Structure 1
């Protein structure tokens, strides 16, 4: 063995691990678009569905709340359901990232660029 070249093996391992992580992160980004969560308000009268990336994909409103005098209440319920869905989406995204981090042996709480 030539002296001073022993570190190249470690460098190759690190590069391979970085490529694996990059691939897993790309897959996670795709998966986050497919995973959906539903937030609700008004005891389920308004439901908002979002992707795990936080994009709103559906809104379901129980027809029983459509009365002109309840307009402001309905608007508040819609906003609350959307916020709940976005919070759940963020939580789910973090959970999925944590799974990848754990599988790769990365430290807990490591922040990713998204």
Structure 2
């Protein structure tokens, strides 16, 4: 019976850590860049786009595809950074406990 109580306390502590982490993550943003910083995309760590900045010199009508590619690259860069932060925070909360493949907590 003591083992069960200890397990319940650990589960409650982990749940509290998870809630704290989620609240912290809600406030965090990452910036992805491409074209040597000519395109910057800001995302929340959860992946919501918060902003985009484009160097005016890139706004050449004949080079529309280049600008589109740079935006996509900046988004990918920001997404990679956001995923890395999520993994780091999750490892802090779970103490390195590995979750089964495909299982996400949020």
TM-score of Structure 1 vs Structure 2, range by shorter chain? 0.7 to 0.9
Quote the residue 2:11 is aligned against. 18
Match of 1:41 among 28, 34, 48: 34
How far off is 1:87 after superposition? 1.0
Quote the residue 1:96 is aligned against. 89
1: CA distance, partners of 2:46 / 2:71: 19
Quote the residue 1:63 is aligned against. 56
Quote the residue 1:31 is aligned against. 24
How far off is 1:110 after superposition? 3.4
DSSP 3-state at the match of 1:43: helix
How far off is 1:59 after superposition? 0.8
User: 5 Å matches for 1:74-93?
Assistant: 74-93=67-86
Structure 1: any 5+ residue segments left out of the alignment? Answer: 1-7
How far off is 1:12 after superposition? 0.8
1: CA distance, partners of 2:35 / 2:21: 33
Q: Name the TM-score, length of structure 1 as normaliser.
A: 0.82
Q: Name the TM-score, length of structure 2 as normaliser.
A: 0.87
